Chain A
Amino acid sequence: MDYRKIAGEKFGLFFNQIRIILYKIELQYDAPHGVPGTAPENLDLYTRYYTQRLFMKKCFMAWHSSLVMTGLAFFIAGCGSVHDDSARIFRYRLATDPPTLDPIHTTDTASAAIVFRMFEGLVEQDPATLDVVPSLAESWDISPDGLIYTFHLKKGVTFHNGREVTSEDFRYSFERCLTPENASERSWVLAPIRGAADMLEGITRTLEGIKTPDPSTVIITLEKPFAPFISYLAMEAARAVARESIEGDRFVPIGTGPYRFLSWTHDIMVSLEAYEAYYQGEVSVKRIDYEIIPDVGVAFQKFVTGELDFVDEIPPGQLKLIRERYPDAVKVWPFLRNEYIGFNHTRPPFKDNLKLRQAFSWAVDRRRIVEDIYEGAATPATCILPPGMKERDDTIEGYGFDLGKARRLLAEAGYPDGKGLPELSLWYNNNELHQQNVQYIQSTFREIGVNVRLRSLDWPAYLKACEAHEPDLYRLGWVADIPDADNFLYILLHSSQIGAPGNYSGYSNPEFDRLVNEARVSTDSEYRKKLYREADRLATEDACWIQIMYAWERILINPAYEGLVLPKQGDFRIPIEKLRYRGTGS
């Protein structure tokens, strides 16, 4: 008996010791962030978190009212009053470690989210309106034949190392992207420039199509007219990289953007700090920490406890629940993304059987997918181009949900009630939402008498199978690289792009090709719009794919930040430099 009592007391003492240690550590690590003195009322997440922690601290305080503790208490009280919000760090969640911070290798959103903050190009895409707006170029002229682009650079813009940007820096950056040894995944962005092909093949070492008559003029000559080129110049690969970024084998990012590189601990965090000499003036958020948190559920918990300010996704199936609990923190908005089930046009039964493809298209209840699977955060699709694209034609009605019509078309296609159809395979890449999506589609096809077998693969194997036209039906989506219809219609459906370049369905229609080809070289934006609308209508009537929906972007952001712009190209484009912390009022 006695022994147990002693053990109990000893354990109690030990536990208290641990608590004291934890408490000390907590103080130590809280000090840099500080405890906000007066938090605004609507800051529910933060206030709750900090109040809870303050309460805990007070409990400990009462418990161990020794001199040391009192001293420490004054210490945190002091921190609270002198703390100012400029020391706040914007903590941004990334699901994976960015593969690169080099603009010429950036192809994924994790890298792009950071690269867009550090580097700028000649022009920029306005995130909200999608217009091409000046960035490092103050203005530009395009020759009437659409071949020569003359850019006039802004004066006094400096790289993060203080050196002024000149036209030579653009020559350097473009040539670097096109040098074959650098193996840039995005060299196709600059491929329309005259001489780019020769450079990529190693025939020449300099780019013929770029001239720099003086430090503030860049003249770019294209091989042939290419209307989307001006938008290409806003992409990562066309941004100005200082030659000082290259240190032997290492790449240390030096650009002109509002934030400059601070540190990168792989798989833990990338930190950027505000560039004090940024030519567009001081920014409010002084530092961004991109924290790598693979699991979205854990990222959400970190957001709730105030350890993150931004989470780039919302756990599937939990949007409504989270929106109810944190209405101010959840943001959903349409962006330039479509989602479809591709047909295999290279072999029967879908090859040259329009009625069959149309029958499948009428059999899908897109509203149900949007409501039940995407919790309302998507728009049912009617055509290829998503809302927000200037070239989109809202009058295209597309395919609704009509099982009667689907059955009738199926019979007309030669397969009454699905009889005579071989067993079809519907492939998808492993992902919870995709799986629910295709399972629903499988069940709806059964309604018209068609059996499809589902097959899932991981992304690398899936991509390979799709390129080789292995599946009869496959699920895919596309997010626009640039807000130009060419990026959807040419890459995904032009017959020259069949296979790896992007046309996995093998769709080929000479009339469609003609319209898109003509639009590519035209410099008249109204005429281009007309051509793309015609092409979109044609491909939709041709049932090139089953259009499913335009999925929306879904994020969580600390509502204490204002000035949020919701970019139509995706959350990774959010201009963090425009955010302001509301707590800075005093």
Chain B
Amino acid sequence: MGVTVRKWAWRRPVAALAAALLVLSALPMGTAQDGQIPLNPEVSGDIEFWHFWGSPVRRNGIRRVVAQCQAELPNITVTETFKPFGDIWTANIAAVAARSGMPDVIVADRLQLPRDAADGIYQSLGDLAAADGVEPSAFWDFTWQQTLYEGETYGLPFETDVRVLFYNKNVLAEAGLDPENPPATWEELWAAADALDVWNDDGTLARMAFFPLYGNVGADLWAMSNGHEFVVDGQPVVDDPAMAETLEWMKRWIDRYGGWAETQRFLAQYGAAPNDAFMAGGVVMKVDVAGYNSILNFYRPRAMLADGSTPNMDWGVSLPPHNGTPATWSGGFTLSIPSGAENPEAAWEFIKCAASRPGQVSWARDTYSIPSDISAARDPVLMADPAWGFFIDAMEVGVNVPFVPEYSNWIEQLNQRLESVWTDAATVEDALSSAQQEIASVIEQNR
């Protein structure tokens, strides 16, 4: 029996294919949909990528992003290298100065990027971004603005974060507090601590309700939540009544728990996750970045209750308690190319891929870092977690501290003096006054 082939039947699929190709050719090169900055898969080369994400959660997360980009960019080979947080940028500077050994792509500190750009540590990505039509409005505005030096970008924002209050719902409920309404103000926080603190018979501390310096938080966030404005007319301000009131408030917490030495003694009992003071039941409420949620999910700690039971911990998140001005702030990083890197074309393709929506969503799913790409931050997969929507809402009260080119790291002058205040070696007034004077002195030197 012979096989009958209908005449011209082969023409229909070919025509459909031709039409599809025609439509595709009208699109920019690569995959433009889904928030992906267009890639050029023809670019080839080996690139080295330095990051400092060594924890199990983050190392796997960044490997997933690299794997995704390897699939998108088959001619590029990415070697990801972990460098300790304390060394990564010093090692890069040394390599850039020696004009050898620098990576092709590095995770850069976004808050210091303009200063580093001014020092020539990173290459401008301005032309590359313009050529590929990178749209600044795709990113949270402050993340994009912080990448600019003299109007050009020196890195694509890769991730940001947001500081929120994590609290142990089980313990709040046990103490008779409403676990759905954690303290929202400084006053409420102080009152809640009366119900949550636990002291041993010998007068030493057994459980701390809250400590303003425990977690990923410092005097800067508390000052913002007290209405303090750090940079006015381009000049850093640390010596003003709101700042002084903030330090006095923080000192009251230290004194509440027996002074600086006693608080350090208490907190020194705990270590890193899963033995940190929050997970191990030593502290009931702490401020940390949203990424801490991924650590909690990873370790699934148990709550330690007074009756000896240890149910799975039910934790909640809310805005950091404030004194009239709800506030939080966001740090974060960019993907940048060091000056002198050998293969900037391939590096740029990798950066585009990782900083685009798919890469950022993948990273955020693993780490709970907030994508700097707004559409990625609102990705339905991420929004499926009830806590995620809260993190994104918290971004709305984020404070962007302007960059001061003459002295980018002026906050150090405040931080250097804090322990002297906590230990009564200096008064709040003296510490703030001398910090302000030295900031002015350094700015004057650098002009």
A binds B: no
